[in-house]
Amino acid sequence: MSLFTTRKIILASASPRRLMLLRQIGVEPQVVCMETEELKQLGPGMQAAELVMYNAQRKGAAVQQLVGRQDALIVSADTVVICHGTLFGKPADEEEAAQMLRQLSGNTHSVFTGQCVIDAKTGRHACGYSETQVRFVPLCEEDIAAYIASGDPMDKAGAYGMQSLGGLFVEAISGDYGTVVGLSLPLLRSLVQKLESH
């Protein structure tokens, strides 16, 4: 049993990193994924926090339609990287991954993870976001080429995974580690408490 809820958890994500973080706190969720149209760029006047919360809510809502009104909490999330005002999602190809890594090299960037928890039984939901600052060491072209050849960057926002080989490039972080990996556990706990306190 988990410390933060006794309810069944449905993870609306195929991310093995989010699954790992839930298992770390004793939760073995049911994984249900649905393809949804996500916002890839900031609209006029839109902040990164709004974008990730919007995407997370859409992912969760799509899964709720699929699973119906069962006694479960649906957890969904979306993560982006912002460096010097530019939004990085997952790289489309190796060249885009290289461009992202060159911009992150030697710089500090922000990672935003938006999360949504939906009570499948009632339809009520709670959304929030977490932001963590990450500082990269300077990278040479050989570093970038070798990292891309490993395949590690290709399914990750900002083209790196701090919990895997990309951790070699992270000099310091300020904020929650889980936010960078893709699921903030303290934020998840607060969203679940918000839903279950009513």
Catalytic site includes residue 78: yes
**According to the model, what pLDDT value does residue 5 have?**
82
Catalytic residue among 78, 93, 152, 155: 78
> Who has greater pLDDT, 115 or 33?
115
Q: Is it the case that residue 24 has pLDDT exceeding 60?
A: yes
**According to the model, what pLDDT value does residue 146 have?**
97
CB 182 within 8 A of CB 21: yes
Residues 6+ apart with CB under 8 A from 127: 53, 56, 57, 114, 115, 116, 117, 191
CB 191 within 8 A of CB 127: yes
With pLDDT > 70 as the criterion, what percentage of the chain qualifies? 98
Q: What is the pLDDT of residues 187-196, one digit of tens each?
A: 999 999 999 8
Q: What is the pLDDT of residues 162-173, one digit of tens each?
A: 999 999 999 999
- Pairing between strand 30-31 and 86-88? unpaired
Q: What is the pLDDT of residues 48-88, one digit of tens each?
A: 999 999 999 999 999 999 999 999 999 999 999 999 989 99
Q: What is the pLDDT of residues 122-162, one digit of tens each?
A: 999 999 999 999 999 999 999 999 999 999 999 999 999 99
- In the chain, where the domains are located: 8-196
- Pairing between strand 72-83 and 8-11? parallel
Q: Is it the case that residue 1 has pLDDT exceeding 50?
A: no
Q: What is the pLDDT of residues 90-110, one digit of tens each?
A: 999 999 999 999 999 999 999
- Tell me which residue of 149, 182, 153, 183 sits closest to 169, measured CA to CA: 153
**According to the model, what pLDDT value does residue 3 have?**
65
CATH of span 8-196: 3.90.950.10
Length of the chain as a residue count: 198
Q: Is it the case that residue 2 has pLDDT exceeding 70?
A: no
Residue 109's H or E segment, with its range, is: strand 108-119
Specify the range with the lowest mean pLDDT, choosing from 17-26, 31-40, 97-106: 31-40
Q: d(Cα 169, Cα 141) in Å, to the nearest integer?
A: 13
